[in-house]
Amino acid sequence: MIDQRVVTPEYLFFEAPREKRFMTGSEAVREAIKRANVDMAISYPITPQSESMHLVGDLYAEGYLREYFRGENEFAVMSAVAGASMGGVRVFTATGGPGTLRAFEAFPTWAGARLPIVCAFMTRGVNSPLSIQPDTIEMAFMLNTGIMMFHAETAQDLYDMILKAFVIAEKTDVHIPVGVFTDGFFVTHTRDTVEIAAEDIKLPPYNPYCAPVPVMDMENVPVRQMRDPFVMKSNFISYATHASWQQEIMAAAERARNYVVKYLGGLVEVENEDADILIVASGTAVSQSREAIGMARREGLDAGLIKIKCLRPFPGEEIRKLTRNATAVIVPEFNRVGWLCQEIKSVMEDTGKVIGGPRVFGGMTMPPDLILAEIRRCSR
């Protein structure tokens, strides 16, 4: 059996010595799960996610997890992790692209049932035509499911965000699921330097009785006996019950802001925030933007960068303040619909200065030159 020492989250995240290793994003998932004290993981293959859950399976074989199996499809897997979470254990799974859409009905139920599930989404294009290539379009659909959403730019982000997601999700006053999204292939299948803690330490175990709803284990009194079921009742009390429950899920995400600030260092990260031209991005679009800003500087042009790490809850106040004095706000995205641009416009006062693009999709890479061209155009 594996000998790991339980440490506080704060020690694991901020104090424990870290070693630099060169690894893929999928391997960064393995390293996070190795230290996350996960009880159970359930897998289902889909490119570009599969490798990460193979590696989690290896961790199970090595004794780091207590239960692991392959489900029959993503809807079933997301249902099975819900059952496991209702039964009071810490669970992990991962999917992406068509898998996310296949499982879609499950996500609002995770949030509605206050389940602190952590799921990694390795994003890819959705059909038709058939594509397995990078694209973040599935995130557009996920924005209003009630789950919290982090977007990792690098393998390092992926490692840190997955570990921190468990701690934030399991806070009693939060206790809703967290999706950690990363751009398939660009992060999952490329190698990068990742600083990781020693493998003999791990997070404290999940305490199911910290949940704000009863654990389904018949170890606490069943209190759901009621005279009238809410479902299908056409009366104000049943509407109000459902409505206030939804509001409470939203409030839980709001309460998570403090923990995102504490553990992720904020919902956004800013570089050169006083520049007239700001680029706002999430995921690997941030790396491409940073590259473009470097190229612009060499031409004597100035631009700043806002990296959004947390999309739900959305850093509306941060974006509003940071963009107030900018003359142009460029939003590069790896999808057709421009969901991030819509989000940013929804919180800004002067939306006329938002440039919705460049956008690439269908698997294309985003050459920094495309972003540089926008910086040049805005600098005229």
Partner 1 sequence: MNKSLFKISPGFEDIMPAEYRELVEHGPYEKGFGVSDLGTFKELIEEHPLCAGCGLALSLRMILASLPKPEDTIIVGSTGCSSIAFPQVALHNIHSLFGNQNALASGLKRALKLRFPDKIKDVVVIAGDGATADIGLDMVMQSWFRRENITTIMLDNEAYANTGGQESGMSPQGTILNMAPTGKKFPKISLPEIAREAGCAYAAAVSPAHPKRLEKAVRRAILLAREIGPTYIQVFSPCPTNYKFKPHETIARIKQREKDGTFSIKEYISPEAQEWLAQIEEVKK
* SS3 category, 269: strand
Q: Does 82 bind partner 1 (CB under 8 A)?
A: yes
Nearest to 150 by CA among 266, 34, 247: 266
What residues from 85 to 124 belong to the interface with partner 1 (CB under 8 A)?
85-89, 91, 105-106, 109, 113
71 vs 367, which CB is nearer to partner 1?
71
Q: Judged by CB under 8 A, how many residues of this single chain contact partner 1?
A: 46
Dig out the tokens for 128 from the structure: 């038709």
CB neighbour list of residue 313: distance below 8 Å, 6 or more residues apart: 148, 253, 254, 256, 257, 260, 267
106 vs 285, which CB is nearer to partner 1?
106
How many Å apart are CA 172 and CA 168, to the nearest integer? 9
Q: Does 57 bind partner 1 (CB under 8 A)?
A: no
Stretch that binds partner 1, among 4-12, 228-236, 316-324, 352-360 (CB under 8 A): 228-236
Nearest to 158 by CA among 103, 203, 116, 121: 121
Nearest to 281 by CA among 191, 355, 193: 355
- Closest approach of Cβ 249 to partner 1, in Å? 16
Q: Does 234 bind partner 1 (CB under 8 A)?
A: no
Q: Does 232 bind partner 1 (CB under 8 A)?
A: yes
How many Å apart are CA 49 and CA 56, to the nearest integer? 11
- Contacting residue, 17, 128, 221, 352, with partner 1 by CB under 8 A: 221
Tell me if 96 sits within 8 A of 122, measured CB to CB: yes
230 vs 259, which CB is nearer to partner 1?
230
39 vs 333, which CB is nearer to partner 1?
39
SS3 content of the chain, % helix, strand, coil (to 5): 40, 20, 40
Q: Does 298 bind partner 1 (CB under 8 A)?
A: no
Beta bridge partners of 160: none
What residues from 196 to 215 belong to the interface with partner 1 (CB under 8 A)?
208, 214
73 vs 127, which CB is nearer to partner 1?
73
What amino acid occupies position 242?
A: H
- Closest approach of Cβ 37 to partner 1, in Å? 13
Interhelix angle 155-169/25-34, rounded to 10 degrees, is: 30
Q: Does 19 bind partner 1 (CB under 8 A)?
A: no
Nearest to 277 by CA among 181, 371, 369, 190: 371
Q: Does 71 bind partner 1 (CB under 8 A)?
A: yes
Q: Which segments of 183-333 does DSSP mark as H helices, in order?
A: 236-264, 284-298, 316-323
- Closest approach of Cβ 207 to partner 1, in Å? 11
Task: Provide the 10 A C-beta neighbour count for residue 148.
Answer: 26
Stretch that binds partner 1, among 46-54, 129-137, 227-235, 342-350 (CB under 8 A): 227-235
- Closest approach of Cβ 107 to partner 1, in Å? 11
How many Å apart are CA 198 and CA 132, to the nearest integer? 34
Q: Does 36 bind partner 1 (CB under 8 A)?
A: no
Q: Does 39 bind partner 1 (CB under 8 A)?
A: yes
Tell me if 131 sits within 8 A of 363, measured CB to CB: yes
Tell me if 37 sits within 8 A of 167, measured CB to CB: no
- Closest approach of Cβ 86 to partner 1, in Å? 6
* SS3 category, 16: coil
18 vs 233, which CB is nearer to partner 1?
233
Stretch that binds partner 1, among 30-38, 84-92, 152-160, 278-286 (CB under 8 A): 84-92
Binding mask 310-349 for partner 1 (x = CB under 8 A): ----------------------------------------
Tell me which residues touch partner 1 (CB under 8 A): 39-40, 42, 66-67, 69, 71-73, 75-77, 79-89, 91, 105-106, 109, 113, 208, 214, 216-222, 224-232
